[in-house]
Amino acid sequence: MLVLALAASIALRIRLDREPARASPSPVYVASGKTLRRLSLGYQGLVADLYWTRAVQYFGRQKLSGAGDYRYLGRLLRVTAELDPHLLIAYRFGAIFLAEKPPAGAGRPDEALALIRRGIAANPSYWRLWQDLGFIYYWDLKDYAQAAKAFEAGSRQPGADLWMKTLAASVAAQGGELATSQLLWSQVYSQAGNESIRRSAREHLAAIRAAEDIAQLNRLLEEFHEREGRTARSIGDLRRAGMLPGRPADPSGVAYEVGNDGQAALGPGSRIDLRLAR
């Protein structure tokens, strides 16, 4: 009887698995952090951890499946922050998840900004949240004046690294320039406590280096045109003219080439995403 019932239940389970999946329900069971705080009866720290875990898994699932449906992400993170205002990781990583452009992230810098501001209000002396705020202004909103202000405010917090002052000055003076971007991402790379952030910083740095290489190659192409009186058709023309010692390659190892428009470009098969340098 036992074996029969077990076999029947397994067969039924297999049949249920074959049925088309229903639309996934909202991952936010209770949308108000205040209500959830009351319901948690003093265990709000644990409930916040569970909500943060749900936010991470929701983000990961959407990213891996390529669905890119991040509509609940902001709400999950807000509830997490309301439950445990000192869960710093939720602000720092949550802001990255929200601010990244689709399909890598939700493409909601406004929500990321609100989350980080909530984090700063609850943890005003934690300087890294100011750093994250500056990042959102710099990268996602291209508001270099606000970014410089955020870095400067962060540099005044106890324990802030000295480079925050340098960053504030660089962003104020040369916001939007590749050298400043490189400085920002180098800092992120050297302090990343997580492999996915380190990988993201590496990809941004590679894109910045490729953008710099392309700008340099375009200068050489212009020089070639002035000197030879004709447009170079390939990188080989620059080498033959003695303007390049070898065949330059981008950080992913693929050689640069000259496009139909006469401008330097990434070669086919390159894994560099130049949008990350902007």
Binding site for other proteins (CB under 8 A): 38, 41-46, 48-50, 52-53, 56-57, 84, 86-87, 89, 93, 193-194
Answer for the pair 82, 37: CB distance below 8 angstroms, yes or no. yes
Residue with smaller CB distance to other proteins, 45 or 262: 45
- How far lies 94's CA from each of 76, 90, 167, 176, 199, in Å? 10, 5, 23, 24, 17
CA distance 207 to 273: 6
Residue with smaller CB distance to other proteins, 86 or 225: 86
Amino acid at 16: L
Residue with smaller CB distance to other proteins, 2 or 41: 41
CA distance 83 to 18: 38
CB of 51 to other proteins, least distance (A): 10
Q: What is the pairing mode between strands 257-258 and 264-265?
A: antiparallel
Residue with smaller CB distance to other proteins, 93 or 256: 93
Tokens matching residue 119: 């984090």
Instruction: Give residue for tokens 């959407």.
Output: 62
CB of 47 to other proteins, least distance (A): 9
CA distance 78 to 33: 7
Residue with smaller CB distance to other proteins, 51 or 185: 51
CB of 274 to other proteins, least distance (A): 28
Tokens matching residue 247: 């065949």
CB of 193 to other proteins, least distance (A): 7
CB of 90 to other proteins, least distance (A): 9
Given 3-state DSSP classes, what are the helix, strand and coil percentages for the chain, each rounded to the nearest 5? Answer: 65, 0, 35
Residue with smaller CB distance to other proteins, 67 or 89: 89
For residue 104, the 8-state DSSP code is T
CB of 27 to other proteins, least distance (A): 14
CB of 73 to other proteins, least distance (A): 14
Neighbouring C-alpha atoms within 13 Å toward the C-beta of 181: 23
Residue with smaller CB distance to other proteins, 9 or 53: 53
